[in-house]
Structure formats: structure tokens, C-alpha cells
A and B are shown apart, each in its own frame.
Chain A
């Protein structure tokens, strides 16, 4: 890994920290406020690619584990990882990796803009929602004893908000891709 990749990974982890400091957005039709930080996984995969995106999130989880309050709302520390949603936090790196793999596969220069939007959206949904819930929900079910089906049904309430996040991440990723493409130069 060259120094530039190392710096990109660190800067992206720092961006995710800052996204946690931005006040969450509340929307009328979704009960849970949307934190900008939870878009980080989709953004990381779509913008710096699979390997660097996953490493940026491993670094971010390391910050959480060593007791820095970097999660949105000033949370952090081992207690969050020991809690019911620990699986989601540990799943971020995998989710960013899968997002990145799909984005790298589907996004090419000179494609029509609509294909790029479609590719980024697909990557965000599969990596940032399907994979993330695929890790987080069974974990939550195992830790809290809530039957898997009930846990899965309950998490459906978050899906509309997540789809909205994927849409925002798609637009932002495409804007970055147009302005400063990093995805093609893989780590």
C-alpha cells in the first residue's frame, strides 16, 4: 500500500467522524432521525473503493474500540460494541467492502450518467443495506435472544430511511466521481 492510499484511508475515516458531528436530519414520514454518519459505509465503498473503504472502516471501528466518542451523538467505547447493535458496527467494514466491489465492477468512465447512478445505487443498497443487515440482524438476535424473524421484521422499519440514505449517497458519490474520481485507481 502506498502512502497516498494510507492517507486516503485515514482522511475518509476522519470524514466519517465529522459526519457524526453533523446534526441528524428529521423527516416527517420516517420515525427515526437520519444521521449523516450512517451513510458513511455506502460513501466509502462508492468513493474510495472496496479495499480502502473497508480499511477506512476498520480504522474507524478501532477508534470506537479504544474509547474515542466518534459515533454520532458522542457515543463510543467498548460498551457500544458489547451492546445489541455491536454487529452493525463490526459489519461496517464488510459492508463497505461489498459496496466497493460492486461499484468498482459497474462504474466505468465514459458510461452514460444514468448507468453510473444505477451502479452506485445498486452498490449502496446491496453493500450498505443487504450485507449490513445480513450481519447485524443475526448478531442482534444471537446477543439479545430475540427470535431472528422478529428481529428481521422489526428492522424493516429502518429500510425506508436506508433507501433514502442510499439515494443521497448515490448522488454524493456520483458528484465526487465527476469532480475527483478515485474509484478507477484501485488500491
Chain B
């Protein structure tokens, strides 16, 4: 149900460490926003696009992933077209699309576990200050992945119950029962976690 957006592959970008990719993304976004020059933005756009399309995604998959964001960018560009001079609109579109390509490339080449390892490292300072527990974050993430299929099955059961009684399927009559039924499990799940001593408290 929840398959990650990671794409199997062994390109040089796949082999790059996550931290390097995230830092590159950060630097790229900071540097692209400092320039207005089309001579810098157009090559950045082409390079990021080339990188993204060379990762082993089929053209269709690749476009489906960024299509929605590009659609928003183009709609806003159409608005900008009437408000701003043309070179500026072009710069804005190229800059955003380059960033989106690069970000999509990072997502496509990084596994969930690699991201999680990096997040654990990033959370270390917060843990030291006592703000949170990095292990809790991984536990919460694991719980989400574990319970999404269950909650979806519950949604389908409630929908079937509506059908059986000839009721129209409205979000209002579905969301209430779905949330109550799901959150009522919290006590049992929490007891099960504590009984196993996962959080060592």
C-alpha cells in the first residue's frame, strides 16, 4: 500500500551518501535564489533535468512524479506573465523546476532506511537537549507504516456498512467512526509497547 518513491538503481547519484545529497539540495536552493541570470538558471535546469531523467525511471513515471508540481508552477507562471517582465518569469520557472527536478532525484535515489539513519543523526542535538528521543521518532514512524493498512481496511468496512444500509457514502459519516475506532486502539497498542519494554522507561 505504501511503496516508497525510491527507484532501484546503481547510478553514481544512487551511490552518493544521503547527507551529501541533502546538503547539495540545500546549497542548490540557496544559490539558485540568489541569481536572476538566465545564463546560470537555464544550465541548472537542464542539468537537474538530465540528472533526474537519467536515474532509470520510465518517462511516464518520471513525469507523473513531478507533473502536479509543474502544473502548479506553470499556472503561477501564467499569472506572473501578466504582472512581471518576461525574463523574470522565465527565471522563476527555470529556478523552481530545477529545484523540483533535483529534489525528485534525491527522493528517487534514497531509501527510506537511509533517510531514517540521517534523521536519527540530525535529531541527536535535540535529543541531547532533552527535547525528544530519536528512538521515539523511529517507533512512531514504524507505527504509522504498520497501521495504515489496518486503518484503510477499517475505512473499507465502514464504507461497506454504508452500502449495506443503502446510505450515501459521505466523508462526514465516515470520518467520525473511522477516527473513534482507530484511536480507541491506542490504549491496547500503548500497553503492548510498554509490556515489551520498547521505550525502556
Contacts and interface: CB of A to CB of B under 8 A. Distances in A.
Interface of A: 1-4, 6-15, 17-19, 21-22, 25, 36, 39, 43, 47-48, 59, 62-63, 65-70, 73, 75-85, 140, 143-147, 150, 154, 168, 171-172, 175-176, 179-180, 182
A81 B102 CA distance: 12
Interface residues of B, number: 69
B183 A182 contact: yes
Given A6-B136, A69-B5, A179 B79 contact: no
B104 A47 contact: no
Interface of A is mostly: helix
B115 to A, nearest CB: 4
Contact of B183 (A8, A19, A84): A8
A43 B140 contact: no
Given A68-B2, A82-B100, A180-B183, A63 B144 contact: yes
A52 to B, nearest CB: 11
B54 interface: no
Q: Which 9 A-B pairs have the closest CB atoms?
A: A77-B107, A10-B143, A83-B69, A78-B103, A175-B176, A79-B104, A66-B115, A82-B103, A4-B190
Interface in B111-130: 112, 115-116, 119
B157 interface: no
Contacts of B119: 62, 66
20 contacts: A1-B136, A3-B194, A6-B190, A6-B193, A7-B143, A11-B182, A11-B183, A17-B148, A36-B171, A66-B116, A69-B5, A75-B65, A77-B103, A78-B104, A79-B69, A144-B80, A147-B83, A150-B79, A172-B176, A176-B180
Contact of B147 (A11, A66, A80, A172): A11
Nearest to B201: A3
Interface of B is mostly: helix
A80 B65 CA distance: 9
A7 B136 CA distance: 10
Contacts of A140: 76
B103 A79 contact: yes
Contacts of A68: 2, 4-5, 112
Contacts of A175: 176, 180
A182 B29 CA distance: 41
Nearest to A78: B103
B186 A7 contact: yes
B93 to A, nearest CB: 9
A67 B110 CA distance: 8
